[in-house]
């Protein structure tokens, strides 16, 4: 069966209850750390606790909100894009929030990684469809990922570009969240190597020209997941 996002299958009330529960757990955790800091005098602890907690839970609140307000579009369950700005479409792989609600927990690490790449490819194909027949000569697609390697990215039309300083700082700040996401993707505790996180860019024209190749790669990977993708 196809991948689907279980969170968005819930009613609005159920979604709000989930978010309320996450907020309560985070608040109780930080309150506990604050009490420990008060008793021990280690005031750095609550600062670190709040920073880490916000990093981890942010996608659970930000992603649905941005989607609801039309600022983030799901082209597949694990491939999102911002609205085009200045001729650039910034794309994102699934967040920790998406991984928890989309990936099949019965799969091993290789199968999960393939599922993620399949979702990327299907998202790219959907993105291509929205631009086919339109004026796309100057449109570029740019994204940062640790799932897609450089060889595969080049194969489907992307080239490696320098990751900007702000993006690098965000990666460092979100390292705990990235570790959790990477561990879910690999089905084991896995610390991401920030040096292996790359930013790729492609012109929409190149992606459209390689559409057939992307479809073929998508089909090839699906054959390795007969249970998940029929």
The structural domains of the chain, with segments of one domain joined by +, span: 56-222
Beta strands in the chain (DSSP E): 72-76, 79-82, 88-93, 140-145, 159-161, 198-203
Neighbouring C-alpha atoms within 13 Å toward the C-beta of 136: 20
> Model's pTM, two decimal places?
0.91
Q: Which two tokens stand for residue 84?
A: 């085009």
pLDDT digits (tens, 9 = 90+) for 56-97: 999 999 999 999 999 999 999 999 999 999 999 999 999 999
Instruction: Give CA separation, 107 vs 5, 97, 115, 226, in Å.
Output: 16, 18, 9, 12
pLDDT digits (tens, 9 = 90+) for 202-229: 999 999 999 999 999 999 999 887 554 4
Judge contact between 180 and 56, C-beta under 8 A: yes
pLDDT digits (tens, 9 = 90+) for 9-31: 999 999 999 999 999 999 999 99
**Any residues with CB less than 8 A from the CB of 219 and at least 6 apart, and which?**
none
pLDDT of 3: 73
Per-chain mean pLDDT for the chain:
93
Q: Which two tokens stand for residue 23?
A: 């907020």
């Amino acid at each position: 069966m196809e991948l689907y996002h279980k969170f968005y299958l819930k009613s609005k009330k159920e979604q709000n209850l989930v978010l309320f529960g996450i907020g309560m757990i985070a608040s109780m955790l930080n309150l506990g750390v604050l009490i420990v800091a008060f008793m021990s005098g280690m005031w750095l602890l609550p600062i670190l606790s709040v920073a880490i907690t916000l990093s981890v839970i942010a996608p659970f609140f930000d992603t649905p909100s941005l989607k609801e307000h039309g600022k983030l579009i799901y082209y597949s369950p694990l491939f999102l894009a911002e609205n085009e700005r200045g001729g650039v479409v910034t794309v994102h792989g699934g967040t920790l929030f998406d991984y928890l609600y989309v990936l099949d927990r019965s799969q091993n690490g290789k199968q999960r990684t393939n599922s993620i790449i399949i979702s990327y490819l299907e998202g790219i194909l959907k993105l291509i469809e929205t631009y086919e027949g339109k004026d796309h000569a100057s449109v570029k697609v740019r994204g940062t990922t640790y799932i897609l390697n450089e060889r595969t990215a080049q194969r489907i039309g992307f080239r490696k570009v320098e990751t900007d300083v702000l993006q690098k700082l965000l990666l460092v700040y979100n390292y705990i969240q990235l570790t959790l996401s990477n561990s879910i993707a690999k089905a084991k505790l896995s610390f991401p190597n920030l040096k292996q996180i790359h930013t790729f860019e492609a012109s929409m024209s190149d992606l459209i020209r390689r559409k057939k190749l992307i479809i073929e790669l998508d089909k090839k990977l699906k054959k390795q997941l007969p249970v998940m993708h029929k």
